[in-house]
């Protein structure tokens, strides 16, 4: 049995699109950044923390946990999910005025089917290029509310698809789960 330790409908949709059977069982992990933590390390740590919280609740299962972060460069902080409309506006202005930004999704599989837990961790980083936004375009996007509960304040699979001019890497990692890499890791554990 595969358990998705996430409330993200996007992650669930991606797994369903691949024909994977799973149960949803979200956990409430501490997602605060540590001082000086690089964004990919942050995503990996949070994904591991989510999986670790789910392990005792699901003996005999394989747990999948993930975390996505957006950042402008490795020296800067993870940009996270905007708390309100103003934060989303500031964030989207920064992303759309930069030549590129990056999205890392880290995932962890914890296999509790044996006498000891087997851990598999991976992370995938994608470069995203976004066009400059006119004030009315930004306002319309903010009015849509799509920015809520999304790393970087946008969902590439929704209205924001028209803001993105290109990507280098995994599209599904930007959505929230690098599906090809997850399927490979599930095969390694003889789950898929």
Q: Which pTM was predicted? A: 0.93
Domain 2-188 belongs in CATH node 3.60.15.10: no
What are the boundaries of each domain within the chain?
2-188
Q: Which of 67, 73, 84, 111 is catalytic?
A: 67
> Catalytic annotation on 67?
yes
The CA distances from residue 42 to 55, 94, 170, in Å, are 20, 20, 19
What's the confidence (pLDDT) of residue 76?
86
Give the C-alpha separation, 111 to 108, whole Å. 10
Element at 104 (helix H, strand E): strand 101-111
pLDDT tens over the chain, length 192 residues: 999 999 999 999 999 999 999 999 999 999 999 998 999 999 999 999 999 999 999 999 999 999 999 999 988 889 989 999 999 999 999 999 999 999 999 999 999 999 999 999 999 999 999 999 999 999 999 999 999 999 899 999 999 999 999 999 999 999 999 999 999 999 999 886
């Amino acid at each position: 049995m595969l358990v998705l330790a996430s409330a993200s409908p996007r992650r669930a949709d991606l797994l369903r699109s691949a024909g994977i059977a799973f149960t949803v069982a979200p956990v409430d992990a501490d997602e605060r950044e540590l001082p000086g933590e690089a964004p990919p390390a942050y995503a990996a740590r949070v994904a591991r923390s989510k999986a670790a919280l789910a392990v005792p609740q699901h003996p005999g299962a394989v747990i999948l946990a993930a975390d996505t972060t957006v950042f402008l460069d490795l020296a800067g902080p993870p940009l996270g999910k905007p708390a309100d409309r103003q934060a989303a506006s500031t964030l989207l202005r920064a992303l759309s005025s930069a030549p590129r930004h990056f999205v890392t999704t880290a995932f962890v599989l914890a296999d509790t089917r044996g006498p000891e837990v087997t851990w598999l961790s991976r992370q995938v980083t994608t470069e995203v290029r976004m066009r400059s936004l006119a004030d009315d375009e930004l306002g319309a996007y903010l009015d849509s509310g799509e920015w809520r509960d999304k790393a970087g304040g946008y969902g590439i699979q929704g209205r924001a698809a028209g803001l993105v001019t290109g990507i280098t890497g995994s599209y599904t990692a930007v959505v929230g789960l690098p599906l090809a890499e997850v399927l490979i890791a599930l095969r390694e554990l003889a789950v898929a």
